[in-house]
A and B are shown apart, each in its own frame.
Chain A
Amino acid sequence: MSQKKLAIIATKGTLDWAYPPFILASTAAALGYEVQIFFTFYGLQLVRKDLSGLKVSPLGNPGMPMKMPFGPKWFRGINWNIPNLIQANIPGFESLATALMKKTIANNGVATIAELRELSQEAEVKFIACQMTVELFGFSHADFIDGMEYAGAAKFFEFAGESDICLYM
């Protein structure tokens, strides 16, 4: 049985969208896949040493439930339907939503991004950062975690062209 391959392109730089690439990559590695993730554009945020910039925004995101991670059960069940116009005008609303989301994540026994990222690296998932966007956004290699490789689109296709599954996120 030859080893299956999974190629992922991670393009989003928010806390919610940080999960799918690392969950799928680490799980696939546990199932015996060889995995590569190509981080480009906002996806570069996911491989920075400092992950505090990862936030979640309910603004313009009608699919995101706004529920409180504390209090009695009936209170936690309430979906706070706050209009975009109000969200946009409250300073710090995004930070508040992010703090609530992190609390919900911890309450539910869901791993942190740093943890999933580490587990992925331990499982030999290969991380490649798009050199073009690193420069475009004014980052330096020192901003990113160890074990990264820096390359371009051609490098991605070298692996993706032979992959069994290829996902764009």
Chain B
Amino acid sequence: MANFDQELDASGLNCPLPILRAKKTLGGMASGQTLRIVATDPGSVKDFEAFAKQTGNTLLSSGEEGGKFVFMIKKA
């Protein structure tokens, strides 16, 4: 299941670090590429929704896997 171009493990990090790391990682990626983010901060669920909405990147999916939160973001 490698339908992403890059992965960011933000496990154990708290607000606002997952968002800041995601922003930085996306900065080094090309338009149309997909970033997979793994986080443990429960606040990140609403935060990544808001992040995508405000930055124009697309939140392809948001879910839970093995007690962690997993997000797929496609760079605009």
Contacts and interface: CB of A to CB of B under 8 A. Distances in A.
A30 interface: yes
Contacts, number: 35
A109 interface: yes
B31 to A, nearest CB: 16
B51 A108 contact: no
A116 B12 CA distance: 16
Given A23-B15, A108-B14, A31 B51 contact: yes
Contacts of A32: 54-55
Contact of A30 (B12, B13, B16, B40): B16
Contacts of A119: 20
B20 A30 contact: yes
A27 to B, nearest CB: 4
A122 to B, nearest CB: 8
B17 interface: yes
Contacts of B54: 31-32
In order of increasing CB-CB distance, the 6 nearest A-B pairs are A30-B23, A27-B16, A109-B14, A109-B12, A31-B54, A110-B14
B19 interface: yes
A111 interface: yes
A26 interface: yes
Contacts of B41: 109
Contacts of A27: 16, 19-20
Interface string B1-33: 000000000001111110110110000000000
A109 B13 contact: yes
Contacts of A123: 20, 23
The CB with the most chain A CB atoms within 10 A, among B15, B17, B54, is that of B17
Contact of A26 (B12, B16, B22, B51): B16
Contacts of A109: 12-14, 17, 40-41
